[in-house]
Structure 1
């Protein structure tokens, strides 16, 4: 049979051992009876691009997620509490939201911060979390068999409940074994867990904070209270001292004449001693006449009395008064309050840390967008990138190496819409007619252009009409479509340079679109200090022209 102040921990490992160690550190008798065992479950990793964040409602998802977690580490984590957030941070995740222990509150806060699509790594037995959340089972919490003898050991104990499922199973197990629950106290981590435990318990207490330290402090307080007020001992929850003060009878004093005579004799003796000291002791006069010597005398007096030990205070009966007994229940309650306050401070610190990490990620994304927009502005104006060239390499060289190199090469020979418009106007007379044919082919083309047959609604194939369409498309910024129209003109062979310039314009904008999308989804990296590279001396035969990796 367990002792009257035994505490039973029913949560699964490894949390069971951690909670039991905290209780034993408080001097309590602890029994470890895990009702569940957590095991990993095979699962397939979805595409991370389809989600804005990763919802974790238990640290078991991190412990038993396996190698599939590595593919999801770029997603910010929404953790249900501080313990889950700590486990995610230790595993290499960036925690964006840390809840107070309630999954719905954590999801609501994530919605407010813009996380619309969430991937929930959860256990097999779970509660629904709402719309817009895709849940995947990564672990299972299976029941551990409990025999009748083990169930009997729960009688007259304090049981810690960390989950609603544990509360429901404990109640069903005791009812099945026919054990009276009126002698068992429950310490629940939250109001929802206490509600799942039901009624007919001796007491049901709820931790001030939904955390394991607060629950441990509450269980310690309840166990110490049971030790004081156990019915077998017949004790009281507030033990008091049996001391009853009494007044001692006043003794009769001596006669008045004897008192006067003794007082006069003491006065005369004091005068004689004072006169002797004034004549024989030199320091007596110095201490009385000088003010500078007073601190020195005080110091000596303090040094001579350094070994003084005050006696214990006396009671009304003249006997030494003993110290009042220590109320362990009050101490445990104070410790629980301090533990709750410490947990709240830790939660605030974790929230500040996650907010700072999220702010840093948003700042990195904003800086990447500014660099991409500045590069687009420079290309549209037809000027070089300058310092932006190095920023593009540092921020996007790893995520989009080809697009970054294409953009840098295109900026060294920039092509603008105005350049393309002026070039098209300059070659318009040459590309609307074919100059490489003989006079017979020229006459044949002239005859064919007299009558043109085409389907209704299709654009005119006449060179003048194609040139007009190319100019309209170029004015609308549709360079690729304009290049296709010019390529179909009779003199397209004379527009080789213009077509090549238009192609470089299109390639540069496609690379710029890739870089902007990379910055928008937050894949732009933080700029790192560039390594110092000593340039090699060039000979007279070397050139400064770098090869174009795109072939354009």
Structure 2
């Protein structure tokens, strides 16, 4: 597996991805495009809700002591990593989505969860709760970084780039343009069609994971290396 994997997600998640990748024999370069920061937030009354929606483990990490108010609420988690972070913090995860927040909400029975509280990032995708009320409270922000020296060095040769979000795709493209680094010698492995759209055209190859998780991305990377 001569091509390195360039991992650009925020540091905590990047280290988890790196660990899995190294177990599979990949060389890795970690250089986060974003830094996760907690922000001040006011906790709505828990009794006003019958469920808590979490679309990122960052909400658990950054939510602070105010999260304790929601211990009695069932947790709807998007993805295994978010579910594991919530369970590690002793929350009761009752639903785990596999293909994004909207898929999780759409799969719920119509009479489940009259009112949900979504602890989100400052930048978040729009979700449609349908007939149920969905209140959004940001508890963290994701601050964009310039493409770092390790990433720039890796991109001097053919590289497999893992892109976990649409925002990361847009930030990466902006940085590549700023630094005059061509896409066409690199392979982009992305979480979803939405992320692929943000990453744009012009890559040597672009591959969309079957599911938005590291296992699917790394499976794509393995097949790419074997075919190359």
User: TM-score, length-normalised on structure 2?
Assistant: 0.91
The corresponding residue for 2:205 is: 203
Matched with 1:20 is 18
User: What is the deviation of 1:12?
Assistant: 0.8
Give the 3-state SS of the residue equivalent to 1:182 in structure 2.
coil
Counterpart in the other structure of 1:39: 37
Checking the alignment, whether the CA contact within 8 Å between 2:30 and 2:150 is kept in structure 1 is: no
Q: Find the partner of 2:177 among 172, 175, 178.
A: 175
SS at match of 2:141: strand
Q: Is the 8 A contact 1:97 1:109 kept in 2?
A: no
Q: Check 1:150–1:213 CA distance in 2 against 1; reply closer, same or farther (3 A cut).
A: closer
How far residue 21 of structure 1 moved from its aligned partner, in angstroms, is 1.8
Offset of residue 101 of structure 1: 2.8
Structure 2 contact 54–119 (Cα < 8 Å) conserved? yes
Superimposed CA distance per residue, residues 156-197 of structure 1 (whole angstroms, 9 cap, x where no aligned partner): 200011111111111111112111111010111222211221
Shift of 1:144: 2.1
Question: 1:153 maps to what in 2?
Answer: 154
1:56 corresponds to which residue? 54
Q: Distance in 2 between matches of 1:118 and 1:106?
A: 13
Partner of 1:344: none
Higher RCO, Cα 8 Å, sep 6+:
2
Alignment CA distance shift 1:152-1:176 (3 Å): farther
Report the 3-state secondary structure (helix = DSSP H, G, I; strand = E; otherwise coil) of the residue aligned with 2:103. helix
Match of 2:27 in 1: 29
Kindly report which structure 2 residues correspond to 1:108-119, keeping only aligned pairs within 5 A, or say none. 108-110=106-108, 112-119=110-117
Does the 8 A contact of 2:29 with 2:150 survive in 1? no
Report how far residue 52 of structure 1 moved. Answer: 1.6
Q: Counterparts of 2:116 and 2:190 in 1: how far apart (Å)?
A: 29
Structure 1 runs of 4+ aligned residues shifted over 4 Å read 147-150
**TM-fit CA distance, 1:98:** 1.2
* Aligned-residue offset at 1:87: 1.5
What runs of 5+ residues in structure 2 fail to find an aligned partner? none
Which residue number corresponds to residue 350 of structure 1? none
Q: CA deviation at 1:216?
A: 1.4
Whether the aligned pair in 2 keeps the contact of 1:121 and 1:137 (CA below 8 Å) is: yes
Q: Which of 209, 213, 217 is the equivalent residue of 2:215?
A: 213
**Inter-partner Cα distance in structure 2 for 1:80 and 1:64:** 17
Report the count of equivalent residues.
224
In proportion to residue count, which structure has more helix?
A: 1
1:209 deviates by: 2.4
> 1:113 Cα shift?
4.8
Structure 2 residue 132 is the aligned partner of structure 1 residue 134? no
Aligned ranges for residues 426-445 of structure 1 at < 5 Å? none
Candidates 180, 188, 199, aligned match of 2:190: 188
Cα separation, 2, equivalents of 1:177 and 1:147: 11
Q: CA contact under 8 A between 1:5 and 1:224: conserved in structure 2? A: no
Q: Tell me if the contact between 1:188 and 1:215 (Cα under 8 Å) persists in the aligned partners.
A: yes
Measure the CA separation in 2 of the matches of 1:209 and 1:16. 18
Structure with more of its chain in strand, by fraction: 2
Q: Distance in 2 between matches of 1:87 and 1:190?
A: 22
- CA gap of 1:149–1:47, structure 2 versus 1, over 3 A, is closer
Q: Does 1:223 align with 2:221?
A: no
1-structure distance, mates of 2:127, 2:210 = 24
1:113 to 1:87, Cα distance in 2 relative to 1, 3 A? farther
Uncovered stretches (5+) of structure 1, i.e. residues with no partner: 227-552
CA RMSD of aligned residues (A): 1.9
1:23–1:220 Cα contact (<8 Å) kept: no
User: C-alpha displacement at 1:146, in angstroms?
Assistant: 2.6
Q: Matches of residues 12-411 of structure 1 in structure 2 within 5 Å?
A: 12-110=10-108, 112-130=110-128, 132-146=133-147, 150-151=151-152, 153-155=154-156, 156-226=158-228
- Give the distance between the partners of 1:46 and 1:149, measured in 2 at CA: 42
Give the aligned partner of residue 367 of structure 1: none
Give CA deviations for 1:6-61 in whole Å, capped at 9, x if unaligned: 11011112111111122222222211111011111111111112112101001111
Question: Partners in 1 of 2:6 and 2:150 — Cα distance?
Answer: 15
1:63 Cα deviation after fit: 1.1
Equivalences for residues 456-475 of structure 1 within 5 A: none
> For residues 323-354 of structure 1, what are the alpha-carbon distances to aligned partners after superposition, in whole Å with 9 as ceiling and x for unaligned?
xxxxxxxxxxxxxxxxxxxxxxxxxxxxxxxx
Q: Deviations over 1:245-267 (max 9, x none)?
A: xxxxxxxxxxxxxxxxxxxxxxx
